[in-house]
């Protein structure tokens, strides 16, 4: 059973995950409008991943006898001039999410809620990957600069990204 404190904190994290999904969907539509379908695809996959993260938390709250309370999602930005700008914003956002997950982990430890702490271990590893992926793309776009052929090739590479169901959801079914 979840304490009210943990339940409220996870509900706040669910909202943060859904806001993240909304942010990445906005980025996807921005780059789709710019004719950069590969970059748009990368952000569409990111959108699906964030929805899955919210679902993992929702499933966890329900499994532990809690109640998921969905609240309104705040507005997100809608324009990024360049892919580099968007990926810098992505890295900053993922670093913020990492801090939120770490705070939730610390709360679970202080409440001696080891089951929640254990579930959060997956998210901690996931955040390392999220930050690493964003930084890698920042490095690539920085290296390419304004080179049209380089931008075209990286857009094609990002078009190949596919969604993979996160393991906590794959095992829940």
The pLDDT confidence band at residue 169, using thresholds 50, 70 and 90, is confident
Range from 7-16, 105-114, 122-131, 163-172 carrying the lowest mean pLDDT:
163-172
pLDDT at residue 151 in the model: 96
CA distance 110 to 94: 24
Domain membership of residue 57 (yes or no) is yes
With a cut of 60, say whether residue 173 has pLDDT above it: no
Domain membership of residue 146 (yes or no) is yes
pLDDT at residue 167 in the model: 87
Domain membership of residue 28 (yes or no) is yes
Cβ atoms 111, 5 nearer than 8 A: yes
Domain at 104, CATH number: 1.20.1260.10
CA distance 115 to 110: 13
| Domains contained in the chain, number | 1
* Mean pLDDT value across the chain: 96
pLDDT at residue 172 in the model: 56
Question: What pTM did the predictor assign?
Answer: 0.94
What range defines the domain where residue 98 resides?
4-166
Domain membership of residue 26 (yes or no) is yes
Summarised one tens digit per residue, pLDDT across range 10-64 is 999 999 999 999 999 999 999 999 999 999 999 999 999 999 999 999 999 999 9
Domain membership of residue 53 (yes or no) is yes
pLDDT at residue 49 in the model: 97
State how far Cα 126 lies from the chain centre: 9
Average pLDDT for residues 63-76, to the nearest whole number? 97
Domain membership of residue 172 (yes or no) is no
Domain membership of residue 173 (yes or no) is no
The answer for residues whose C-beta is within 8 angstroms of residue 145's C-beta and 6 or more apart is none
Domain membership of residue 122 (yes or no) is yes
Summarised one tens digit per residue, pLDDT across range 121-151 is 999 999 999 999 999 999 999 999 999 999 9
């Amino acid at each position: 059973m979840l304490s009210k404190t943990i339940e409220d904190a996870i509900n706040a994290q669910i909202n943060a995950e859904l806001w993240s999904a909304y942010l990445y969907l906005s980025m996807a539509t921005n780059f789709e409008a710019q004719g950069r379908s590969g970059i748009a695809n990368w952000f569409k996959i990111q959108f699906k991943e964030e929805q899955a993260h919210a679902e993992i938390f929702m499933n966890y709250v329900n499994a532990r006898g809690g109640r998921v309370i969905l609240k309104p999602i705040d507005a997100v930005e809608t324009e990024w001039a360049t892919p580099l700008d968007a990926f810098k914003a992505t890295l900053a956002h993922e670093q913020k999410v990492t801090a939120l997950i770490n705070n939730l982990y610390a709360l679970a430890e202080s409440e001696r809620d080891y089951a929640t702490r254990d579930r959060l271990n997956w998210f901690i590893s996931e955040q390392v990957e999220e930050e690493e992926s964003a930084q890698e793309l920042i490095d690539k776009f920085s290296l390419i600069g304004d080179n049209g052929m380089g931008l075209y090739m990286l857009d094609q590479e990002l078009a190949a990204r596919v969604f993979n169901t996160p393991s906590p959801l794959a095992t829940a079914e």
